[in-house]
Structure 1
Amino acid sequence: MNAVAQATAPAAASRMAWLRRRPMISTELLALLASLFFTVACNYELWHTLVADLHAHARLVVAVFVFVTALQAFLLGLVLGRWTAKPLLTVLFATTAFAAYFMGTYKVYLDPDMIRNVLETDPGEASELVVSGLVLPLLGLAALPIVALWRLRLRRRTLLRAAWIRLAFLAGMLLLAAGGALLAFQDLSALARNHREVRYLVTPANYVASLSKVLLATPPGPAKPLQPIGEDAHELPRASGTRPRLLVFVLGETVRAQNWGLDGYIRQTTPRLSAMKDVINFPDVESCGTSTAVSLPCMFSPQGRHAYDAKMIRSHQSLLHVLQRAGVQVLWRDNQSGCKRVCDGLEFESTSNAADPALCNGKRCFDEILLSGLQARIVPDGRDRIVVLHMLGNHGPAYYQRYPPAFRRFTPTCDTEQLGDCSRQQIVNSYDNAVLYTDHVVASAIDLLRNQPGYDSALVYVSDHGESLGEDGLFLHGVPRAIAPSQQTHVPMVMWLSPGFAGQQGLDLACVRDAADASASHDNLFPTILGMFEVQTAIYDPKLDLLRRCKHA
């Protein structure tokens, strides 16, 4: 034996010995072990909700444990093969680690609406969620199991033997799932019937099923053209000698009524708007959804929440298309993640490339950027106009980045995206400072409109949804609408009408102020704004127009 062979022989023997020491298991056992790992290590929110919130007894908890583990093992058994098991489980371990972290940190439900939010999140929003707190979950729930996974060897079998064993495994898992269900069938069926949202806590089944629903509802390829609505829409002629109308619709983000100064909050978070005696506040307004992906398309649709149909809303044109068809010029200015197709084909401006050093830091801009250059975009030309300003507002968790230093009035603040590192009061302080800045931006927009001699102007501000700030352990938003707390659905809304605009409409402003105390919702926006431009169409619902009863005959 030559010297080279003598030198390499021990190394080769060592490698063979290392390979022999790698455990060998069947793909079926791997599926069961992976399911057990997911059930035990990645479903804290499921078990916490069952025990602490729903007070489930031990038999029901055991039944859920057996049912979930067996069902997930069955599903894994359908897709895991000798060559696919490791790549697929690697993806599942990594993705589930992220899911478990965000569910545990913010107590979110991974339903289709939340998954749609994730898919539509822009890079700036996504980067704010990548924090140091992710390190340990990724290490424990992803890195370690992935290393162990790739250390394993999967047993080889003949095709026929593999098929019979796989069928037996699948049948066994179905029987085990059935046994788990029968262990506490009455309670389990009551849980499924009365607390359907719990299924969106079962990880990874929740995000896999929700992602599938979203993808199936969104066929690949270019988006289909939106189907038209309000094709009969037309504006009534303005009275001779009147000026064109200008409405600025300020679409707020994640501001809740509970922290809105005009709604009686203990802190004065709306000092400028409160000082404007001609601003009309609506204290009892409900949002359509608990996320931008739901509320934004909904509030611009004729269906709204009262006739909610997500597929119809997303496949049809919006209020803005109806206005444009009737002759109103439309402009959408965005400091967020887009208009969710509400403004498809209409004039759109994004602040993503804005470079104002006073308002932008290279990643984000403060919301005053929406007013920058606006005067040049609304030069009167005889036509009516609506301008939508889509704010970044109070989008969390980085509340401290939503306002300039001059608005850091409530201290100490939570100056990190990792809310777990802050006290609840610090979180609330940062959130309130962001509300204070929203007040400043909206009031500045009203000041701009007061000085428009070429228009009769008006402004409407409303938030798309609210936010949880630690109540009942909840943070951020996106809880399924059926069980969402009021903090996520009760939103602020204000309206300002110039004397000329009110005069054109024949509006009794005292009547409007009185009517503002009644309950309202996002459903009122579609007909109210059509009415403000005196647009006639069959899809206009006068019963939902907030201003109609205050117009002189």
Structure 2
Amino acid sequence: MSVVMSRTGPAWQGAVDAVRAWRPLLSVEALAVAASLFFALTANTAFWRAVAAGGAMPWRLAVAAFVMVFAGHALLLGALLARPWAKPLLALLVVVTAAASFYTQAYGVYLDADMLLGTLHTEWAESRELLTPGLAWHLLVFAGLPCLLLGRIRLVRRAPARALLVRAGFLAAMAALLAAGAAFGFKDLSALVRNHREVRYLVTPANYVYGLGQLAFAGAATGDTPLQVVAPDARRVAPAVARRPRLLVMVVGETVRADHWGLNGYARQTTPRLARRSLVNFGDVQACGSSTEVSLPCMFSPYGRRDYDAARIRGSQSVLHVLDRVGVDVRWRDNQTGCKGVCRGLRYETVSPDADPALCDGLHCLDGMLLRDLPLQPDAGGGDRVVVLHMLGNHGPSYFQRYPPAFRRFLPACETAELGDCSGEQIVNAYDNALLYTDHVLDGLIDRLETVDGFDTALLYVADHGESLGESGLYLHGVPWPVAPREQLQVPMVLWFGPGFADGAGIDTACVQRRATRPASHDDLFSTLLGLFDVQAAARDPAHDLLAPCRRGIPG
């Protein structure tokens, strides 16, 4: 085989030499323009789909939106980039933006501050499931190649005064262009923002840069300050007659949507074991938020969604602190990513990911591990107790890893974290199999509680938020609460009373069954939990105590 030779060597050698010699000289402002065009064209597919969701995109809206996305990012980069750190910072932004755009496109993720906070608090076992081959290819194309090109660029040097003047002019020009784009498509843009406020969380990388700024500011404002005391006047009300100590096991479910809960009338019986028991099922329950990071602190707070203030909630004690302060033994056992501050300073333990090879794979454990060695016997001093079990539940996208093989009943099931590789039926099958396992775990827990000696026992199960399974192109959860779909906000809740608990607390269970047919929410948990342990406080609101109308002497 012959090789075509030139005077200086093989024919391809010239092309190699040309690539090696390619070292374009750009100003930081030109680099910001190039990067902004790149982001607008490659990182915002989910945004453009959302803008065009109603059909053909009006041309004025298309032009205005593109100009604003481009100019907004150019303005942002113009403010962030300076010659000494322009290339490394931009390389970091390119990599993170490529990852962010993959998740917004693949799962319909909205990157607001709450979603970013949850991401930052995600543990390796959970985040590992999201590191898929699809992500690797996406990063290779949309981060690897641009970073190689970025490495070849040389940046113009300017005298400080001239650099400052040029940068000020650039920022002014981009601000003017941004304003012009807004004015050009004002009518269509205002309608879009009014009807679909959530689309702003899809503009990448502005979405996560702004969200991280919010988190940094909130972190600087709150710091490590002590939690504000909640219900300082809380006190136990002595019972009229002597009673046995009470044990409540509260199970916080993960990512369970109400319309797939068998007890709520779902076409499939995903709760066959619980359906055979005498318990109270609340069929219309709204969550505080669409993510664990929001819902968990909110559901244990006196403020809830009706007075929602994230900083106030995170900076204050939870109902568990109130119970602990009045003498209830409070314990938290976790099979998730922690209690998000709800149990700060209280007794806490987490399930070890390698505790039992039958239930654990070294990264996470099935929820059956939560029942191992439960503290169900009273201490020498007696007294009431609350044990909170925080489940892994139906956390996606790897639903197939949330249950053992014996619960592969709905087939074929999606058995990959790449949900785009599965049909809608396969995704739902895997999700519903995980619900069957939750039903099994709860049923086994009730079996244990029925045999406890020394306590009157009860169980309260409620999920923190729901899940999207492909509806409207959305997967997983975390859409901002004001625009979150019903699938992410409606959750199941179940209450079971063991022998003696309802009678000892003066609760009419028939009345509770009637109350369970009315709407309820996470906002009701704070006052209901205080009521279960006879705690009086000004913060306890009878209107939000689900059992108040059903206590002896009060009309139901």
Instruction: Report the TM-score, using the length of structure 2 for normalisation.
Output: 0.94
Structure 1 CA distance, aligned partners of 2:466 and 2:55?
A: 25
* Alignment correspondent of 1:501: 501
Equivalence map 1:220-259=2 (5 Å): 223-259=224-260
Q: Return closer, same or farther for 1:17/1:265 CA change in 2, 3 Å cut-off.
A: closer
Counterpart secondary structure, 1:52: coil
* Alignment correspondent of 1:490: 490
Structure 1 position 221, deviation (Å): 10
Letter in 1 for 2:412: P
Mapped contact 2:245–2:382 kept (Cα < 8 A): yes
Structure 2 CA distance, aligned partners of 1:469 and 1:49?
A: 18
Q: Deviations over 1:340-365 (max 9, x none)?
A: 01000100010035512221121111
Mapped contact 1:128–1:417 kept (Cα < 8 A): yes
Q: Deviations over 1:23-66 (max 9, x none)?
A: 11221111001000001100001100001247641101110110
Mapped contact 2:353–2:365 kept (Cα < 8 A): no
* Alignment correspondent of 1:11: none
Mapped contact 1:298–1:304 kept (Cα < 8 A): yes
Letter in 2 for 1:152: I
* Alignment correspondent of 1:452: 452
Query: Bigger shift: 255-264 or 152-161?
Result: 152-161
What are structure 1's unaligned runs of at least 5 residues? 1-13
Mapped contact 1:380–1:454 kept (Cα < 8 A): no
Counterpart secondary structure, 1:460: strand
Structure 2 CA distance, aligned partners of 1:24 and 1:542?
A: 70
Structure 1 position 194, deviation (Å): 3.9
Structure 1 position 267, deviation (Å): 0.7
Mapped contact 2:457–2:498 kept (Cα < 8 A): yes
Equivalence map 1:8-157=2 (5 Å): 20-53=21-54, 56-157=57-158
Counterpart secondary structure, 1:324: helix
Structure 1 CA distance, aligned partners of 2:354 and 2:525?
A: 30
* Alignment correspondent of 2:516: 516
Equivalence map 1:123-522=2 (5 Å): 123-219=124-220, 223-276=224-277, 278-352=278-352, 354-375=354-375, 378-379=378-379, 381-522=381-522
Structure 2 CA distance, aligned partners of 1:449 and 1:259?
A: 26
Mapped contact 2:410–2:432 kept (Cα < 8 A): yes
Structure 1 position 487, deviation (Å): 0.6
Q: Return closer, same or farther for 1:242/1:221 CA change in 2, 3 Å cut-off.
A: closer
Mapped contact 2:251–2:389 kept (Cα < 8 A): yes
Structure 1 position 79, deviation (Å): 2.0
Query: Bigger shift: 162-171 or 467-476?
Result: 162-171
Mapped contact 1:231–1:325 kept (Cα < 8 A): no
Structure 2 CA distance, aligned partners of 1:18 and 1:105?
A: 35
Q: Return closer, same or farther for 1:55/1:279 CA change in 2, 3 Å cut-off.
A: farther
Q: Deviations over 1:297-347 (max 9, x none)?
A: 000001111111111100000000000111110000000000001000100
* Alignment correspondent of 1:7: none
Counterpart secondary structure, 1:248: strand
Structure 2 CA distance, aligned partners of 1:480 and 1:358?
A: 38
Letter in 2 for 1:109: Y
Mapped contact 1:461–1:495 kept (Cα < 8 A): yes
Q: Return closer, same or farther for 1:16/1:67 CA change in 2, 3 Å cut-off.
A: same
Query: Bigger shift: 230-239 or 383-392?
Result: 230-239
Letter in 2 for 1:192: V
Letter in 2 for 1:163: L
Letter in 1 for 2:118: N
Structure 1 CA distance, aligned partners of 2:305 and 2:109?
A: 22
Counterpart secondary structure, 1:411: coil
Structure 1 position 451, deviation (Å): 0.7
Counterpart secondary structure, 2:99: helix
Q: Return closer, same or farther for 1:191/1:384 CA change in 2, 3 Å cut-off.
A: same
Letter in 2 for 1:332: W
Identity of aligned pairs, percent?
55
Structure 2 CA distance, aligned partners of 1:54 and 1:509?
A: 52
Q: Deviations over 1:500-540 (max 9, x none)?
A: 11111211111111111000000111111111111011110
Structure 1 position 90, deviation (Å): 0.3
Structure 1 CA distance, aligned partners of 2:326 and 2:98?
A: 50
Q: Return closer, same or farther for 1:518/1:221 CA change in 2, 3 Å cut-off.
A: closer
Structure 1 position 215, deviation (Å): 1.6
Counterpart secondary structure, 2:52: helix
Mapped contact 1:508–1:550 kept (Cα < 8 A): yes
Letter in 1 for 2:489: T
Structure 1 position 377, deviation (Å): 6.2
Query: Bigger shift: 235-244 or 423-432?
Result: 235-244
Q: Return closer, same or farther for 1:195/1:376 CA change in 2, 3 Å cut-off.
A: closer
Structure 1 CA distance, aligned partners of 2:470 and 2:18?
A: 54
Query: What is the number of residues matched between the two proteins?
Result: 540
Q: Deviations over 1:59-100 (max 9, x none)?
A: 011101101211211221122222211101100000001000
Mapped contact 1:459–1:497 kept (Cα < 8 A): yes
Letter in 1 for 2:122: T
Letter in 2 for 1:542: P
Structure 2 CA distance, aligned partners of 1:352 and 1:53?
A: 48
Counterpart secondary structure, 1:49: helix
Structure 1 position 499, deviation (Å): 3.5
Mapped contact 2:331–2:386 kept (Cα < 8 A): yes
Counterpart secondary structure, 2:215: helix
Q: Deviations over 1:143-185 (max 9, x none)?
A: 0111011111112233333233222222221221122112112
Q: Return closer, same or farther for 1:380/1:435 CA change in 2, 3 Å cut-off.
A: farther
Letter in 2 for 1:21: W
Q: Deviations over 1:242-292 (max 9, x none)?
A: 21000000000001111100001111110110000x211111001010000
Counterpart secondary structure, 1:374: coil
Structure 2 CA distance, aligned partners of 1:315 and 1:354?
A: 33
Structure 1 position 187, deviation (Å): 2.4
Q: CA RMSD in A?
A: 1.9
Counterpart secondary structure, 2:275: helix
Structure 2 CA distance, aligned partners of 1:177 and 1:455?
A: 66
Q: Return closer, same or farther for 1:305/1:222 CA change in 2, 3 Å cut-off.
A: closer
* Alignment correspondent of 2:8: none
Structure 1 position 22, deviation (Å): 1.5
Structure 1 position 465, deviation (Å): 0.3
Structure 2 CA distance, aligned partners of 1:235 and 1:49?
A: 53
Counterpart secondary structure, 1:267: coil
Structure 2 CA distance, aligned partners of 1:550 and 1:376?
A: 27
Structure 1 position 446, deviation (Å): 1.1
Query: Bigger shift: 68-77 or 488-497?
Result: 68-77
Counterpart secondary structure, 1:114: helix
Mapped contact 1:252–1:390 kept (Cα < 8 A): yes
Counterpart secondary structure, 2:176: helix
